[in-house]
Structure 1
Amino acid sequence: MTPDLSRHEAVHRAADAGIPAALSDLGSLVRIPSIAWPSFDQSALVESADAVAALLRGTGVFDSVEVARAAIPGTDEMGKPAVLASRAARNGRPTVLLYAHHDVQPPGDEALWDSPPFEPTVRDGRLYGRGAADDKAGVMAHVGAIRAVSEVLGDDLDLGIAVFIEGEEEYGSRSFGQFLSDNAEVLRSDVIVVADSGNWDDRTPGLTVSLRGNARFTLTVRTLEHASHSGMMGGAVPDAMLATVKLLATLWDDDGAVAVDGLLERDAPTPDYSEETLRAESGLLDGVRPIGRDAILSRIWNKPSVTITGWDATPVDSASNTLAPQTRVVISARVAPGQDAHEAYRAIEAHLRAHAPFGAQLEFTDVDCGDAFLVDTSGWAVEDARASFADGYGVDSVDVGVGGSIPFIADLVREFPSAQILVTGVEDPHARAHSPNESLHLDTFRNALVSEALLLTRLNERTV
């Protein structure tokens, strides 16, 4: 065997041997309810950041490891605690930036969990718990990979490594851009690995090459100065609920496809993906039909979507015979790759204003836009990633699109325009990130960690 091949095999074995320790450390992280929403205990977020910093210090490879914050532009607030680690490259080797986030979604209704959300539980080859997949497994894939390459390469580890573990990704990454600017010299790199995406399935790695953008906002609909008796005025006076229902219905056609002029689609091929697979992965109920037209993955990866994610309405248990004077909804749109997110938002706003029924008054607030992303797959880092996936998983990777959004990637591109960006992850289609019973497929985690260790080894062999 060539020296490089034997070294790759040694790294593979070391990464594999380190899986039990990585899973143990992952379980400890999952036990910390690190939720960035201000209504939750923020000391847990500090505890989580400190725990991640300790794990990175424990690798012994970094010149510096610190917990840091950045200001939220336009406010007097500071962002949530992030972890920043770095070591300088030597002997002409490149620098890689490894990104993940240690904050998690709120658990939601804990009654819907089969085991407590912050008590890591293994069942049927999966680790259950909030953050077990999104994205504390991403954190531990980085840590485990660094441990393996450090163990095998020792003093031959010349690769520059920066690590940025964010603490507010689930809360909008409000200080992300400022954090990049504040720490630009430490974070500047040749390759960026974002471990916050998914795979084709639990056996096949995915390299994310496209992400939809997002345009999220709050819409307030008003029709009355005050509430009125529905029996006395109903039938002549439009309440805000009626106006909102009619208005929102104009956003889609009868097939459930988005019907907003000015929202664009991307023309790109997609792999075969059956309705049966969609049903299995989404939990679509018997008798409920998918929405939209054309290939299923094209609907998810290349077309816009509009979802109502929140609605202020009187609870059923306290309903009264009252005409509501106003109501609010949160509208979340996903924007096709290739379209500017602010342009898409303006198209939706114009559509809603043009279709407001009965002269209802509309107000748009809390607008948040993030651009889509298309990966340049021609660089040497993608070549190294694909080779590492093939060795780590034992099968070739699939280039995948993602219907979701990672808006901060636009910030990375803006701050580090020459860096090659690799969007990877540890999730499989059944991970249920953001949902009750979130889980991590243990074999997928093992393969992802091994693949990243092999990628770092390959990068350590390059000269820039």
Structure 2
Amino acid sequence: MDTQQATDLARGQMPMVRDALSRLVAHPSIAFDGFPAEPMHAIGEDLLEMFRGAGVPDARLLDLGVGYPTLYAEIPGPEGSPVVTLYAHYDVQPAPESQGWTTDPWTLTEGEDGRWYGRGAADDKSGVVAHLATLAAFEGRPPVTIRLCIEGEEEAAGNIDDYVARHPEQFASDVFVVADSGNASVGEPGLTTGLRGNVTVTVTVRTIEKSLHSGLFGGGAPDALVSMIQLLGSMYDENGATVIAGLDSYEWPDGHVDERMFRESAAVLDGVDLPGEGDLASRLWSRPAATVIGLDACPVDGAANAVPPSARARVSLRIAPGSDPQRQAEILTSFLQENAPRGAHVEVTDVKINQPFLAATDGPAVGLALDCLGEVFGKPAAQHGSGGSIPLVETFLSTSDGAEAILWGAEDEEKARIHGPDESVDPKELEDLIATQILFLARLAESR
């Protein structure tokens, strides 16, 4: 297949893509506890109808034993053809009014800039419809054997990893295509070849047995919240970089992130400096980064003049691609325990680990993917990292010796604003992703 054929096929699918994405965005498919289950069940039925209509007659909702199901299918290709798993997820982050949306998050809305706005329009219902259009373009007869996996609990850290580990034969593949990433900016093709992992812990600091009057005891009794602040502060240097000794860290090769673009994407306030020093790509993709994502202490409303006896924090540590996550967790735990100010009692509990990912970039599938990206987008494709974590990638790879993973998508880092207000996708970016997938699958079959 040549590039023009692939782009023509993708362009022909775009009216269907717009309609399908509109239907999917209309479902507030939030898998977190406390949100209604009805939208999750409704979107599952819509997905079945869509994929069966795209030439996948045996598409079914796979019961994982707990939580929401995964849409799964096997589409046989020619005998002896490569096996490719196509992955995306249909659950989304919440979109509370407090985020400040300027459009209805559950209605796909075209903006004046031509982008399509709505919760999940990028993350990751764009990946879902990209796979839908790719399969529809082949009219039920793909050139390779396809295993389709559309997860329902990715945002909620669901149970598919355990299921894949227990049933590797259902997912064993030569290539895993994960459409849950994106280019640095629209029209600038890139393959995600590294993902930071994540270690999350709860740290509790205790200093006294009960609250004490700050007038009678302040200045003498050890304040647990101050101790917590000092302990958390010790994770950083004066520039805000994470400096926990022993954590894996390296410079990202040939990477570049435009600081102006990044500041705009992150909505950094005027006059506020970015943390750390040196190459921004390395700070985001291959150096460790600790974030205090939760803090339990004395609330401001109703605050009493008392010395607090305890404080609790939730710390998320992003770890470098290629690192041993268990070892990084041990280093973080030891650091917090050993740096307790003035003998404060520190307990580290509820340790959660997400695997990092570092692609084997010399593999034939990765090379082919880079070539296809470059041909469709009309310029050489870069290899970039991501600060986010997709632990399922390593679980997928564990099912198949010698398998490769391809991470791409339509979630451009510059404007998509995934997880935030006014999330959006660029339709041309989505069309080019679909064309790239069509070309990749055709060329992969030809290479065998």
TM-score category by the smaller chain? over 0.9
Partner amino acid, structure 1, of 2:241: A
Give how far 1:177 is off.
2.4
What's the counterpart of residue 201 of structure 1?
185
Of the three residues 156, 162, 165, the one matched with 2:150 is: 165
Change (3 A) 1:325 1:119: farther
8 Å Cα contact 1:266-1:338 kept in structure 2: no
Local SS of the residue matching 1:332: strand
Map 1:415-454; keep pairs closer than 5 Å. Answer: 415-429=399-413, 430-454=415-439
What's the counterpart of residue 128 of structure 1?
117
Structure 1, unpaired ranges of 5+: 72-77
2-structure distance, mates of 1:110, 1:125:
25
2-structure distance, mates of 1:443, 1:452:
14
Local SS of the residue matching 2:284: helix
2-structure distance, mates of 1:160, 1:456:
10
What's the counterpart of residue 225 of structure 1?
209
Matched, 1:102 2:90: yes
Most deviating of 328-337 and 260-269: 260-269
Local SS of the residue matching 2:60: strand
8 Å Cα contact 1:307-1:331 kept in structure 2: yes
What's the counterpart of residue 33 of structure 1?
28
Local SS of the residue matching 1:218: strand
What's the counterpart of residue 92 of structure 1?
80
Quick one: percent identity of the two aligned structures? Answer: 37
8 Å Cα contact 2:252-2:281 kept in structure 1: no
Partner amino acid, structure 1, of 2:59: V
8 Å Cα contact 1:270-1:298 kept in structure 2: no
2-structure distance, mates of 1:182, 1:54:
28
8 Å Cα contact 1:11-1:148 kept in structure 2: no
RMSD value over aligned CA atoms? 1.9
2-structure distance, mates of 1:56, 1:83:
9
What's the counterpart of residue 260 of structure 1?
244
Give how far 1:144 is off.
0.9
Give how far 1:84 is off.
0.6
8 Å Cα contact 2:81-2:144 kept in structure 1: yes
Local SS of the residue matching 2:301: helix
Give how far 1:438 is off.
1.4
Local SS of the residue matching 2:216: helix
2-structure distance, mates of 1:313, 1:106:
25
What's the counterpart of residue 55 of structure 1?
50
1-structure distance, mates of 2:252, 2:40:
40
Give how far 1:49 is off.
2.2
What's the counterpart of residue 308 of structure 1?
292
1-structure distance, mates of 2:13, 2:307:
62
Matched, 1:66 2:54: no
2-structure distance, mates of 1:131, 1:417:
33
8 Å Cα contact 2:169-2:399 kept in structure 1: no
What's the counterpart of residue 127 of structure 2?
138
2-structure distance, mates of 1:160, 1:116:
39
Most deviating of 97-106 and 351-360: 351-360
Give how far 1:109 is off.
4.1
What's the counterpart of residue 384 of structure 2?
400
Give how far 1:182 is off.
4.5
Change (3 A) 1:360 1:399: same
Matched, 1:114 2:108: no
2-structure distance, mates of 1:324, 1:128:
45
Local SS of the residue matching 2:362: coil
1-structure distance, mates of 2:87, 2:289:
27
Partner amino acid, structure 1, of 2:62: A
2-structure distance, mates of 1:101, 1:266:
31
TM-score w.r.t. structure 2 length?
0.94
What's the counterpart of residue 298 of structure 1?
282
Local SS of the residue matching 1:37: coil
Of the three residues 251, 258, 261, the one matched with 1:277 is: 261
Local SS of the residue matching 1:421: strand
Of the three residues 291, 301, 305, the one matched with 1:317 is: 301
1-structure distance, mates of 2:62, 2:208:
48
- After TM superposition, the runs of 4+ consecutive aligned structure 1 residues lying more than 6 A away are none
Give how far 1:111 is off.
5.2
Partner amino acid, structure 2, of 1:321: N
